[in-house]
Amino acid sequence: MIVNKVTFGSFLNYGIDFTGGTLIELKFDKTNEEQIPLLRDAINTSVAENTVNQITITDKGTYIIQGKDLSSEQYDKVKAAIKEKIGNFEEVKFTTIGPKIGETLKQRAFTALVVAMVMIVIYITYAFRKVPKRVNPWRFGICAIIALIHDALTTVGLFALFRYEVDALFITALLTVIGFSVHDTIVVFDRIRENLKFQGRDDSFGKIADLSMNQTLKRSINTSLSTLITLLALYIFGPESLKVFIFALLVGITVGTYSSIFIASPLLALWQEKARVR
């Protein structure tokens, strides 16, 4: 993300949902790379230079054109210019978002993520309020959130690495990942809470946490595997438009399963043991 900020000017490759702009999908009788310069020239000359940012060809034989925000009058000029230079076409999709709306959506997406995490901390703390007094319930919530931040950053980091487009659908995937991850973490934490009732004098918190993870390990792996198999099928055989969304879910759920076992629970045990020694 830091390299992207230095190289491209932003941490992520934001889509038009967050930056504002226009997305057009057109279908011609014939599709080839040679038409891309003609398309770019037709649009730029009919409106203004540097209107087009990117033109790609999909596996359906259509052109995806991304560029600056266009008014309805400008779009009419664009269509006329394309028809004159290249020929008849079918308009599959046309979306335009103003820059102010895009910035508002970005702020609201960030707010949604922060609010979700804060509410999760409060909920977990409340749910574990009846743990033995020697264990602070806030530690459960904070350790769960640290694991969530790890999951979210890993998913976002991979999107930054591969320069995948980040749009509103990605935020939906990220919120889904957060929900799945905290669900898996709560299962382990709940077993720790139950086992604390039978903690012997010589049993450390770390031993109880280790026992609890072993008891829930098979369940966590089986649940995640069954979900990942379904997502993998969707990724391979599903529509092209959903592949980036499903990729985010695949990464997030995999990392979320890992973090529940190897980050949240060990961190809670380490924190509790250090507090006991003090």
State which of 97, 112, 144 marks the end of a domain.
97
pTM of the model: 0.79
What is the C-alpha separation between 248 and 157, in angstroms, rounded? 11
Beta strands 165-166 and 13-14 are: parallel
State which of 43, 65, 97 marks the end of a domain.
97
Residues 110 and 239 in one domain: yes
Residues 133 and 33 in one domain: no
Beta strands 62-67 and 21-27 are: antiparallel
Nearest to 261 by CA among 228, 214, 222: 214
State which of 74, 97, 120 marks the end of a domain.
97
Residues 33 and 135 in one domain: no
What is the C-alpha separation between 18 and 8, in angstroms, rounded? 16
Residues 91 and 113 in one domain: no
Partners of 165 in the β-ladder: 13
pLDDT value of residue 252: 92
Phi, psi of 28 (to 5 degrees): -110, 170
Residues 53 and 180 in one domain: no
What SS3 state is found at 67? strand
Residues 230 and 132 in one domain: yes
Read off the tokens for 85.
């230079």
Residue 167 is given by DSSP the state: -
Residues 93 and 165 in one domain: no
Residues 211 and 178 in one domain: yes
pLDDT in tens, the chain (278 residues): 999 999 888 898 888 878 778 888 888 888 788 888 888 888 888 877 777 878 888 878 888 888 888 888 888 888 888 888 888 888 888 888 777 777 888 888 888 888 988 898 888 888 888 887 677 888 898 999 999 999 999 999 999 999 888 888 888 899 888 888 888 888 899 999 888 888 777 788 889 889 999 999 898 889 899 999 999 999 998 877 788 899 999 999 999 999 988 999 999 999 888 866 55
144 occurs within a structural domain: yes
197 occurs within a structural domain: yes
What is the C-alpha separation between 178 and 152, in angstroms, rounded? 7
pLDDT value of residue 121: 86
Nearest to 276 by CA among 188, 212, 205, 196: 205
Residues 219 and 184 in one domain: yes
Residues 87 and 121 in one domain: no
pLDDT value of residue 241: 74
pLDDT value of residue 83: 87
Residues 60 and 122 in one domain: no
Domain range for 52 is 21-97
Looking up tokens 């391979």 gives 236
pLDDT value of residue 277: 56
Residues 141 and 91 in one domain: no
pLDDT value of residue 133: 63
The number of folded domains in the chain is 2
